[in-house]
Copies of this chain bind each other. A is one copy, B any other.
Amino acid sequence: MNISKASEATGLTAKTIRYYESIGLVSPASRKDNGYRDYDNQHIRELKFVSHARELGFSLEECGELLGLYQKSDRKSADVKAVALARIDDIDQKIVQLQAMRDSLKTLASCCHGDDQPGCPILDNLAGE
């Protein structure tokens, strides 16, 4: 299977697939005589796994970790769960941060007339009142 077919099958771009191979995240594709990469079902499974993990917000490093656990039959589910819980904590922190920003911005924006006059509480706030 050519890389463009692998791309179709996984939803990842060809560029991304090559990149994942180049950093050692997924196992390298075998090569045909003309040098083209050749993908089989095992490769596709790996790539889909990483793609799903990325959609859940895992970093490439975490994806590698999870992929390793996935392919290790004597893994402990506790190790997987630990990665997921750490990710949840990160996400929760980010959400709290973003909500604080949004609340501040909404407050400021609601005080701003938004007309063609120069007076603006948003700028006043940024300038430190």
Contact = CB atoms under 8 A, between A and B. Distances in A.
- The A contact surface, by secondary structure, is helix
Contacts of A104: 56
B113 A48 contact: no
A56 B116 contact: no
Interface of A: 45, 48-49, 52-53, 55-57, 66, 69-70, 73-78, 80-82, 84-85, 87-88, 91-92, 94-95, 98-99, 101-102, 104-106, 108-109, 112-120, 122-123, 125-128
A95 B85 contact: no
29 contacts: A45-B127, A48-B127, A49-B127, A49-B128, A52-B127, A57-B98, A57-B101, A57-B105, A66-B126, A69-B123, A70-B123, A73-B118, A75-B118, A76-B115, A77-B112, A77-B114, A77-B115, A78-B113, A78-B115, A81-B109, A81-B112, A84-B105, A84-B108, A84-B112, A85-B109, A87-B105, A88-B105, A95-B95, A95-B102
